Each structure stands twice: as C-alpha cells, then as structure tokens.
Amino acid sequence: MAYLRLREVVKSYDGKSNAVDDVSIDIERGEFVTFLGPSGSGKTTTLLMIAGFEYPTSGAIELDGHDLSLSKPYERNIGMVFQNYALFPHMTAAKNVVFPLKMRGFPKQEIQTRAERMLELVGLLRFADRYPRELSGGQQQRVALARGLVFNPDVLLLDEPLGALDKNLREQMQVELKRIHREVGITMIYVTHDQTEAMTMSDRVAVFCNGKVEQVGTPLDVYNRPANRFVGEFIGDSNFFAGRIDAARPGLVELAGIGPVRIAQKTQAPVPAGDIDLMIRPERLRLRAGGESSDADNAFEMTVDDVINYGDSILAIGKTNGLPLRARIVGSEPATWTQGTKVKLFWAPTDAHLLVRR
C-alpha cells in the first residue's frame, strides 16, 4: 500500500463545479512529488486538503493507512512551507524554528539540539540570532524550510516556496531542496506552475488541469511521452501536426499538409487507427548536413521567420508547408539566419510521439 493515498478526492465550494475533480494519486514514503499545473488547476487546493486546511467534498486521503479526511490540521504530523515564508517577525530565526517544537511539547533538552541541527542543515546556523527583516529572501525561505522539518513530520508540503525569489536564487534553492530531501529522506509534495522546478527536483510529477490529474510520471516520462496534448504543450516547447493512422500502412502517418512520414511503433504504447496528433520537440529537429541523416529519417524544409539566440543555441521560429514549426539548433551557423532563410531539417522516426486526438 502507498504511504500517502488520495482516492477519488473531490472539492466543490458551490456544489455546482469542482475545484478538484476525482483526483487519485499514490505517493510512496520518501518520494519527492510535484503537483504541476497552471493557476486554477486544483493543485494548491489538493495540497491544502492534505494539510487539513480544506476538507474534501468526497473521497479519502490516507496517510500510512490512516484516514485523514476529518482530522484537524494540528492532529496531522504534516509540515507546511508557504510562498510568503509566514515567519514571525518578532522572533529570531532560531525562535521561529523552535516554535513548532514548543507547541508540540518536545522535551526542553531536545528542542535546542533539533533547532541547531536543522539550521545547520539549511546553512543558517550562524544567522540563528537574526530577525527575518535582517535576512535575505532566500535565507528567510531556508528558515521556513527548517521550521517545517524540525519536528520530523510525516510529510512536508511546499506551496510555491520559490515563487518570490529571483532566477539565480531560485535555481540555487532548487539544488538545496533536492540535497535536503536526499539527506532527510522525508516525503515531500511540492506545488508549482514552473515546469523547470518540476523537472529539476521531482521523482515524479502530477500534471493538473481544470481540477483533474492528466498524468503522473517521472519528469522524463511526462516530457518525452505526454499522455495528451495539454501535457505536451504545458511541459516544454513542442511542435504538433494533425495526422491520421491507416491500419493498412504500418509504420507511416499521413500528416495534413505534409504527407506520409515514418514513425517507430515500438517506442510507445500502440495508438489505434484514426485521427492523431504527432508531437516533435524542437530539439529533436536537426540540420541536414553531409552524412548526418539516413534514408529512414524524415525531412522538413523550414522557412525562418524569426530567431531567438540563447548563446549556446538558437530557437528558429518559422513554417514548413505553411504550418508553424519551431527548431532548437546548437552551433554558430544558425546565428546568421534571417527572415526568409530556408533550411533543411530532419528527424528520426523515434523522435515522434503520437497522441490520440480528443
């Protein structure tokens, strides 16, 4: 049995529409699982129901075999880290970390030891006597993290904790969070709308949309093998082409406006004959140079409309046969491309992912 189980969880505020709609997820002990999705997709509401700040309209939430659905927040041994840190401004970093231990009645001799150990874990032991106003945003977030971990919770919930930080600090904290997760080994559930955070830190990702979970899988699974078009579009950049599979022509897909292309049937679950969407990630498209491609590859001619230079690569935005196309190319040559440049691109049959049209 999974350590944390959400079974057919529904949350409705008005009795007419569901903010969370039939969500079922199994989370193993010690996993780092990210709830990823756009604003209003139900991910934070689901997190709040696990914490006990919201109650399900129906369904069950179980932790280590015990039903949490009607438990008060203080009856659940669950830690919470908020986006706005929620530190007590009149308390030092050390006193903020000590607070949950005192509230839970830990022995006095143990309180100091635990607090110092947690502050050392997050690299803030020498800032223990500083007040939140004397700490940077990243340091305040570390104090909030230490406070959420210090009482050894069964699960730590993190609600977009890095959203208020700048890009460089956010990336540093991603690495730190993953390090702390490895060292502590606690079950963590992280909510974000940032796909990079989800891909960087997670063991598994649950992708939310309109209150439903569209897919649960490892970061590479949801990136390379999205369950549907929403997941493919939300996570990473992508090209989609409408097509049709004919059972009489195995290994081929007829793309509208392009014609037949080869696909590798063994690289994914079988897709029934009929209308499909074919997805190719921009980085899978390569320049056709001497000896680089084979007869089995598929080729596009792209007319460039615009180029975005990232330094180590460029994103070429253009069209093929009048259809929009995006290609991410590494190297110096693409930097000279201008509007109207025509280039030959190719992709291998294994690079495509097929999705049944909804």
Q: How many CA atoms lie within 13 A of 176 on its CB side?
A: 20
Amino acid sitting at position 55: Y
| CA gap 301, 321 in Å, rounded | 8
What confidence tier does 34 reach under pLDDT thresholds 50, 70, 90? very high
Res 256 pLDDT > 60: yes
Q: How much is the average pLDDT of 179-185?
A: 91
Q: Does the pLDDT value for residue 292 go beyond 60? A: no
Question: What backbone torsions phi and psi does residue 260 show, to the nearest 5 degrees?
Answer: -75, 140
φ/ψ of residue 188, rounded to 5: -125, 140
**How far apart, in whole angstroms, are the C-alpha atoms of residue 314 and residue 311?**
7
Amino acid at 300: F
User: What is the pLDDT at residue 291?
Assistant: 45
Q: What is the mean pLDDT of residues 212-228?
A: 95
Token pair for 229: 């078009």
Structure confidence by residue, pLDDT tens digits, 127-168: 999 999 999 888 998 999 999 999 999 999 999 988 777 888
One-character DSSP codes across 70-92: T--GGGS-EEEE-TT----TTS-
Rg for the chain, CA atoms, rounded: 24
Q: Do 64 and 3 form a contact (C-beta atoms < 8 A)?
A: yes
Instruction: Read off the amino acid at residue 108.
Output: K
Q: What tokens does 333 get?
A: 């040559």
- Residue of 249 and 58 predicted with greater confidence: 58
DSSP state of 110: H
Closest CA relative to residue 185, chosen from 153, 212, 209, 231: 153
pLDDT of residue 290: 53
Position 298: which residue type? Answer: N
Find the helix or strand (DSSP H, E) in which 29 lies.
none
Task: Tell me the percentage of the chain whose pLDDT exceeds 70.
Answer: 96
The per-residue DSSP string of 266-310 comes to: GGS----SEEEEEEE-GGG-EE--TTT--TTSEEEEEEEEEEEE-
Mean pLDDT of 16-31: 96
DSSP β-ladder status, 286-287 and 298-309? unpaired
Q: Is the pLDDT of residue 289 over 70?
A: no
| pLDDT of the residue at 168 | 82
Which domains, ranges and CATH numbers included, belong to the chain?
A: 4-229 (3.40.50.300), 237-356 (2.40.50.140)
Rounded CA-CA distance 330/274 in Å is: 36
Cα distances from 78 to residues 8, 71, 186, in angstroms, run 21, 12, 11
CB 156 within 8 Å of CB 148: yes
| C-alpha closest to that of 7 among 65, 78, 72 | 65
Indicate whether 295 pLDDT > 70.
no
**DSSP 8-state symbol, 181:** H
More confident residue, 33 or 286: 33
Give pLDDT, residue 332: 63
Stronger pLDDT, 338 or 36, i.e. the higher one: 36
Both tokens of residue 89?
A: 């401004």
**What is the DSSP secondary structure assignment for residue 174, as one 8-state letter?**
H
